Chains A and B, each alone.
Chain A
Amino acid sequence: MRKIETSLAALLNDIGVFYVPKEWHFLSVNGIDLGGGKIELQWIFSKYGVKDEIVIYYALSDYDTPVPSIVDLIPSAIMGEREIVDMFGLKVDGAAKGLYLDKDSMKYPLRGEA
């Protein structure tokens, strides 16, 4: 497992340079609440045909900063992006609310001590 730090501003550029569809399998977008309004976002990739090669791009952010969408580069990222919109209440371009949660469900369940 390799972890590479990036930032929300540099994310599209970094992943655009890194991601080659025939070499890398995109796993998912992941968010981890660090407490105190901070959140760690992760974009996880694994390599086809190589043992235990996982690359995680991560960036620190807060709840209000809009997260850039990588759907133009990786169409299957739409599911993961809709999930973090629901679970953490983040803003992602083009990702609609309501993948899992209903009107009267708990708001942003995975945010810290919400």
Chain B
Amino acid sequence: MKFFSAFRKKSPWVLHYNAGSCNGCDIEILAALGPKFDLERFGVINTGNPKQSDIFLVTGPVTYRSRERLVELYSQIPEPKVVVAVGSCTTTGGVFRGMYNVEDGIDRYIPVDVYVPGCAASPQLIIDALVKGLDVLEAKSKEIEHPFKLFGTIEMIGNKLSRLNMAKKVEQHEKN
């Protein structure tokens, strides 16, 4: 598998999901993809498809309604994968910490590899984080990574891995 990882490092594809942020970090990600900061010179393309992505850019403090989508998207990305938490509220909850519909940061749900501080995180920092994420991506293996809090597991159905049960609907959830 050494063969593919060399190429993967040259063209990491990015999936972007907004889990309840204020848009500030999202428009900075767009600006970073734009001509001035030009993230695309690292081979980065913003895809809308989790199954083709390597790096998961998440913004926002995870609202209640976006929890299942976040975990679903995370579990659909093939390994190896890297999660980058963009912005203060994604890493700690930021200004939204303690509000009633918010889960103070994404690391309650999925393992995070790179944290980006800042409200809003500047494009320079986002580029730095992605480049750092590339090193993490190279060191990772194909071992399956699990979300922390999830409502089901990966199962073997026949001789195939099934992720169908991973993002089961949460009925009762306790905020810790």
Contact = CB atoms under 8 A, between A and B. Distances in A.
Q: Do A and B come from one complex?
A: yes
A105 B100 CA distance: 7
Interface residues of B, number: 8
Given A105-B101, A106-B101, 16 more contacts: A100-B101, A101-B64, A101-B101, A102-B64, A102-B65, A102-B101, A103-B171, A103-B172, A104-B64, A104-B170, A104-B172, A104-B173, A105-B64, A105-B100, A106-B100, A109-B100
Contacts of B100: 105-106, 109
What bracket does the count of chain A residues touching chain B fall in?
under 10
Contacts of B101: 100-102, 105-106
Interface of A: 100-106, 109
Contacts of B172: 103-104
A8 to B, nearest CB: 28
A82 to B, nearest CB: 15
Interface string B91-123: 000000000110000000000000000000000
Nearest to B68: A102
